[in-house]
Amino acid sequence: METLLNISTKAKVLSFGEDLGEVKVYPNPANDKLTIQLDNTMEGKAMVEILDLTGKLIYSSTINADFKLQTIDISKVSKGIYYLRISNNNTTNNQKLVIIK
């Protein structure tokens, strides 16, 4: 028996190979806190968004990308598999994020 999975998303950008900068996110899987290490291409304000697999926005926060190491509180996000998008005027970075509780 063959099962086909078709996921449609409303999110505009969910590509994984076209990132202009390197962003490290840990731990992944995460629990209550997520640390984001930004590279030097990101400056000024950056948007951190967590989207579910349907593209629904679950979490959004603006961070100061001039501080290259950021910790965000994700304790109110339910366990599951998500897309993490970090973007500013110059760079967009998309990563898979697993949250465990």
Dist. CA 80–CA 52, nearest whole Å: 8
Residue 7: pLDDT band by 50, 70, 90 thresholds?
very low
Provide the domain limits for residue 41.
24-99
| Residue 81 belongs to some domain of the structure | yes
Residue 7 lies in a domain: no
Number of domains in the chain: 1
| pLDDT tens digit sequence for 17-39 | 334 457 899 999 999 999 999 88
Q: Residue 37 domain-assigned? A: yes
Question: pLDDT band for position 41 (50/70/90)?
Answer: confident
The CATH number of residue 82's host domain is 2.60.40.3080
Question: What letters, b where the CB count within 10 A reaches 16 and e where it falls short, cover 28-37?
Answer: eebeeebebe
In a domain, residue 66? The reply is yes
**Percentage of residues in the chain with pLDDT exceeding 90?**
60
Asked if residue 34 is part of any domain, the answer here is yes
For residue 4, tell me if it sits in a domain: no
